[in-house]
Structure 1
Amino acid sequence: MSKENLARMRELTYKANDVLKKLFDDAGLILVDFKLEFGLFKGEVVLGDEFSPDGSRLWDKNTLDKMDKDRFRQSLGGLIEAYEEVAHRLGVKLD
Structure 2
Amino acid sequence: MANTLMDRLAEAGVPLSDMDHHESDLYVFVTPRTTEVVEAWCEELGSSRLTAAPTFIDQVTGRLMYDCAFAYDPAWRPEAAGAGEGGRRA
Normalising by the smaller structure, the TM-score range is under 0.3
How does the TM-score come out when normalised to structure 2? 0.27
How does the TM-score come out when normalised to structure 1? 0.26
Query: Could you say which structure has the greater relative contact order, defined with CA pairs below 8 angstroms and 6 or more residues apart?
Result: 2
Determine which structure has more spread, i.e. the larger CA radius of gyration. 1
